[in-house]
Amino acid sequence: MRRQIRLGLLLSRSGSYSLISEACRSGALAAIARVNGDPDLDFSFVPVERDPGGNIDAYAPLCEEILRDTGARHVVGCITSWSRKEVIPTVEKFGGTLWYAVPYEGFEASDHVVYTHACPNQHLLPLLDWVMPAHGRRAYLTGSNYIWGWEMNRLARERITAAGGEVTGERYLPIGSREVGRMIEEIRFSRPDFIMNSLIGPSSYEFMAAYRALGQEDAWFRPERCPVLSCNVTECELPALGQAAEGLVAAGPYFRGVPGWPGAGNFGSSHEAAAFSAVMELARLLAGREGAENWPLSQLLAGRGGIVDPETHHTALPVIIARVEGGAFKVLKRCEAVAGDPYLTRSRSTPAPILRVVS
């Protein structure tokens, strides 16, 4: 009989970012079905699901429950960086591994986390390098009021000012807030060349709808003149955005219908693709190695090759810049696989540091 390996899924099916969670869950379950249907593998995955419901206080206890009570040692999950940082001490305590399938702000490496989506040198920095020559160097920065928004805007501010540009304004909203009026008025007054949108969930949807209305009043704010940029909006949120998404420019490793990473498959979004990739890579690392699910991550990765950098635990990914046209992303620019560089050090002479956790 095939051995049974329990695999945790820690994803919120309700709350502010449930659309992203559902995309990740869909990708993970599709990979589990692929693994369990493969006659050449010597094991099957048994999913163990826990739903934090978008409640930040539930993530660590539910992660502990998975690792302590079910026998699982690997967990696919978390959407926000806040939730990821909440569970890292738990996976360290129980010797587990978190497989994180969402774009994030970088400046983290852990012996207990694998990052299968993009970090800033794979999304934000290429996106800014594309937009400034095309549209100008005056930017307005928005963000949800937690680490993703703070760090993305910090990096954007550094890149823009280093290029001789200007940040005309910067404002944050609590997760879930729809109070975008002040942002819109500041944008109307400052007339930037582009907007960097690091809001999430309903905050982003409300902002995009209000910005579309502004563009209908004043041609300066139409997408062809002053576009909105994003590193986290994918196809899974286009239904919530509707017409407000038209002209949005996004960066990511995958868009629906674009061939390449992570191989064969027409995924609904990069969130779905990254979660699928996480499960399939874990399966590859466990195949033919009885008991390997209990090994520490460093041992699991050693001598096995694959998509995960054993030094940083990040993934080499394509960089694709695309614009929403007619309800779908159309590719504007594509670069082949770029290694994840979470500390933005690999362009320098010093090697990338290895750190356990950045809190």
Q: pLDDT tens digit string along 36-53?
A: 999 999 999 999 999 999
pLDDT digits (tens, 9 = 90+) for 57-112: 999 999 999 999 999 999 999 999 999 999 999 999 999 999 999 999 999 999 99
Domain 121-255+318-338 has CATH 3.40.50.2300: yes
The C-alpha atoms of residue 314 and residue 279 are separated, in whole angstroms, by 15
Q: Which of 19, 16, 85 minimizes the C-alpha distance to 54?
A: 16
Give me the pLDDT at residue 347, please: 56
**Encoding tokens for residue 195?**
């907007």
Q: Which of 36, 53, 54 minimizes the C-alpha distance to 45?
A: 36
pLDDT digits (tens, 9 = 90+) for 132-156: 999 999 999 999 999 999 999 999 9
φ and ψ of 150, to 5 deg: -60, -50
Give me the pLDDT at residue 266, please: 84
Mean pLDDT for the stretch of residues 184-191: 98
Question: Which band of pLDDT confidence, cut at 50, 70 and 90, is reported for residue 238?
Answer: very high
Q: Which of 221, 194, 200 minimizes the C-alpha distance to 15?
A: 200
Give me the pLDDT at residue 263, please: 62
Sheet holding 166-173, edge to edge: 166-173, 138-144, 194-198, 228-230, 249-252, 317-325, 328-338
**Encoding tokens for residue 86?**
């909440």
pLDDT digits (tens, 9 = 90+) for 250-273: 999 999 988 877 766 789 999 999
**Encoding tokens for residue 213?**
């209305």
Average pLDDT of the chain?
A: 94
Q: Where in the chain is the domain with CATH 3.40.50.2300?
A: 3-117+256-315, 121-255+318-338
Give me the pLDDT at residue 354, please: 42
Using an 8 Å Cβ cutoff, are 128 and 137 in contact?
no
Question: Which band of pLDDT confidence, cut at 50, 70 and 90, is reported for residue 168?
Answer: very high
Give me the pLDDT at residue 143, please: 98
Give me the pLDDT at residue 130, please: 98
Q: Which of 130, 152, 133, 132 minimizes the C-alpha distance to 143?
A: 152
Q: Which of 288, 359, 344 minimizes the C-alpha distance to 122?
A: 344
Q: Give me Rg for the CA atoms of the chain.
A: 20
Using an 8 Å Cβ cutoff, are 106 and 126 in contact?
no
CATH number of this structure's domain 3-117+256-315? 3.40.50.2300
Give me the pLDDT at residue 259, please: 82
Give me the pLDDT at residue 353, please: 40
In the chain, the amino acid numbered 209 is A
pTM for this entry: 0.95
- 168 vs 88, 144, 229, 255, 273, CA distance in Å? 36, 18, 15, 31, 35
Mean pLDDT for the stretch of residues 337-348: 86
Question: Which band of pLDDT confidence, cut at 50, 70 and 90, is reported for residue 1?
Answer: confident
Q: State yes or no: pLDDT of 357 exceeds 90.
A: no
pLDDT digits (tens, 9 = 90+) for 204-235: 999 999 999 999 999 999 999 999 999 999 99
**Encoding tokens for residue 35?**
């693994």
How many residues are present in the chain?
Answer: 359
Give me the pLDDT at residue 309, please: 95
Torsion of CA 157, 160, 161, 165, to 10 degrees: -130
Question: Counting beta carbons within 10 angstroms of the beta carbon of residue 1, is it exposed (0 to 12), middle (13 to 18) or buried (19 or more)?
Answer: exposed
Q: State yes or no: pLDDT of 359 exceeds 60.
A: no
φ and ψ of 209, to 5 deg: -65, -45
